[in-house]
Amino acid sequence: MIAALLTVQLTVASAPAGAVAYQDVPPEVVRVLVYEWRHESPPVRVPSSTERDGTRLIVRTTVARRNVILLARQDNAYLVDGPFWWPPGDVERALDRRWRRTVTSSAPEPIASGSSPDWLSLRNEPPGEWPRCVVATDRSWSCWGTPAGESGVVVSRAQDRTWWTVVSRGAAPDLRASKWGRLLLVDDATGEPLDLKIRFAHPRVSSALRVRGLRLDTAAVATAQALLLTPGAAWLFGDDVPADAWVEVRTSRAGPAFIALRDVVDGPLTVALTMRLEETRPVEGVAVGGGGEPANGALVTLFRLIEPVDAGLTAGVREKPRRVLIAESMADARGAFHIDGAGDAEYEIVVWHPQLGHASAILPRVARVVNVRLESPGTVRGRVVAGGKPRAGVAVISVPSPEAYKAAEDLVGLKGGDARTGADGRFTVVAAAGGGGELRVGGWPLPVRRIALPRLPAASLDLGDIELGSPLELTIVLDQDSSCGVRATGPIGQSGLQIVLGTRTGPGLYGIVLPEPGLWAFGLICGREGLALNPSTMQITSAQAGKALRFSVR
């Protein structure tokens, strides 16, 4: 019965050719197909005949060219032999025992002419005879000899676009286009089952006001995506490539590891990017002050260097490498700290304490422990009083000047310590290493005093008594009654903007208490909506305390 199915008699007028014989042909084979193989174009089926004697199969054709033989089973999977030049005499050939399939995929639009498609194996196998992919039409591809049941990616570059599709279990969805694409294969040194987590990010300045900065925020690369194919493989693709962007790869127990996105994009499209993830390392240590006292409650921040430590020289001065925020933690009563999640990269660890100072250290790729001794650039102390009496619990905050904030490469040098006054009204904070800035004492509902600090920090600076004074009580008068509330925001141009709400006291009348003089913006708040007042801003001085401010509702 099977022999009858395999025997196909096709008569053509052509010169005689030899026969090709195979031994130990699997019984699942139910038909034999012979094709003329053509370079970069679909193969063409040619007439053939077969004979079978048990497990021995003999194939003949009268179109003796560069041919391929497919030995197919009922579900269309096949064993393949070739391409080979058909012999003039009888030969016996060995049979590849790997079952394969032909997959096709179509594009939603014509594909510009480019190179022939390539098959990328998720096994990271070296290129072999099969699979072989060809352009079937201007909208479709076909890949012959793809391993049955295995996944892979079919890709091609056409002009400025990468066309691709992911083959899974013999099925290929429609072709997709992106500006770049790359196959990523990951090996986990922990030996645990892989659960890949892939993130695309790039550095950005933390504020539109900042023009320089070493320690940067990060943002996601909006057009980059990772399509997980198997536990250890992913297809990366996207369009834009922001400057200094990277790919972060991790699992629950290994990594992270980082690759420059530009290296991913510029690499060979047909060569998979391979990566071995090492086990995640913790970072721990102890922070102490200059006298060895524990830095209880110190803020510990971990940054990843996105450039080598020796980033380069500019005018003979070695540049500091830029870095991005990874994680933060607090030191305990012993000054000990622990941060999880460091990977295969260089890091900077910064420890900051409001009374003991700060310090930073570079953490090499293999280091896990770093002990830090804080350095204090100097201390600032004083006593806060109200009406000549000590005031407890008053906030004392160190802030840089806006000009220094914009120009600074490293904000750590601009931040001094913060504190609250004790029962005796006294406070002590560490000065900013870069000097300058100011202390902002108080805050709504208390009045605010701003104390300018010297540009060069002193070892010890005593400000003496700081009189808070009284807040500015004002009356807001509107030209028409309104059920909305009044809001003031300010002082504009100063650090630490505050929002103060007024209290309705009558038709078109509101009482409001501002914590300090300066330029304030006024408006009406009606639920989630806001209405402007005219004037929208007003310079407030201490001379206006107790007086009325008049506004028109727009």
pLDDT in tens, 46-68: 999 999 998 999 999 988 899 99
Other Cβ atoms closer than 10 A to 258: 18
Decide if pLDDT at 345 tops 80.
yes
State the Cα–Cα distance between residues 44 and 489, nearest whole angstrom. Answer: 78
pLDDT at 314: 45
The predicted model scores a pTM of 0.74
Q: Do the beta carbons of residue 157 and residue 181 sit within 8 Å?
A: no
- Position 14 pLDDT exceeds 50: no
Q: CA-to-CA distance for 356 and 296, rounded, in angstroms?
A: 10
Residue 102 has pLDDT above 50, yes or no: yes
User: Is the pLDDT assigned to residue 3 strictly greater than 60?
Assistant: no
Centre a 10 Å sphere on the Cβ of residue 103 and count the other Cβ atoms it contains. 22
Mean pLDDT of the chain: 87
Rg (CA), the chain: 37
Instruction: Compute the distance between CA of residue 524 and CA of residue 154 in angstroms, rounded to an integer.
Output: 60
Contacts of 543 (CB under 8 A, 6+ apart): none
Residue 293 has pLDDT above 90, yes or no: yes
Please state, in angstroms and rounded to a whole number, the distance separating the CA atoms of residues 82 and 69: 7
pLDDT score of 215: 80
Query: What band does 5 get if pLDDT is binned at 50, 70 and 90?
Result: very low
Whether the predicted pLDDT of 255 surpasses 80: yes
Residue 11 pLDDT exceeds 60: no
Q: Which residue has the tokens 């931040």?
A: 415
Alpha-carbon distance 197 to 417, whole Å?
38
- The answer, yes or no, to whether residue 478 has pLDDT greater than 90, is yes
Report pLDDT for 42: 87
Q: What is the distance between the terminal CA atoms of the chain, rounded to a whole angstrom?
A: 94
Least confident of 311-315, 531-535, 538-542: 311-315
Dihedral class, residue 515 (left if φ above 0, else alpha if ψ from -120 to 50, else beta): alpha
Give the model's pLDDT for residue 514.
94
- Strands 518-526 vs 485-490: parallel, antiparallel or unpaired: antiparallel
- Confidence at 311, pLDDT banded by 50, 70, 90: low
Q: Determine the Cα–Cα distance for residues 335 and 406; give it in Å rounded to an integer.
A: 32
Does the structure show a pLDDT above 50 at 1? no
Count the neighbouring beta carbons within 10 Å of the beta carbon of residue 337: 24
Interval 60-99: pLDDT, tens: 998 889 999 999 999 999 999 989 999 999 999 998 999 9
- Please name each of the domains of the chain with its CATH number: 2-97 (2.60.40), 101-177 (2.60.40), 179-279 (2.60.40), 281-373 (2.60.40.1120), 379-467 (2.60.40.10), 472-553 (2.60.40)
Q: Tell me the mean pLDDT in the region 335-357.
A: 91
* Residue 237, pLDDT score: 96
Which of 76-85, 339-348, 349-358, 525-534 shows the lowest mean pLDDT across its residues?
525-534
Q: What is the pLDDT of residue 199?
A: 95
Query: Residue 180: what residue type?
Result: W
Helix (H) or strand (E) holding 5: helix 2-6
A 10 A CB-CB count for 141 gives: 25
DSSP letter assigned to residue 543: G
Q: CA-to-CA distance for 554 and 539, rounded, in angstroms?
A: 20
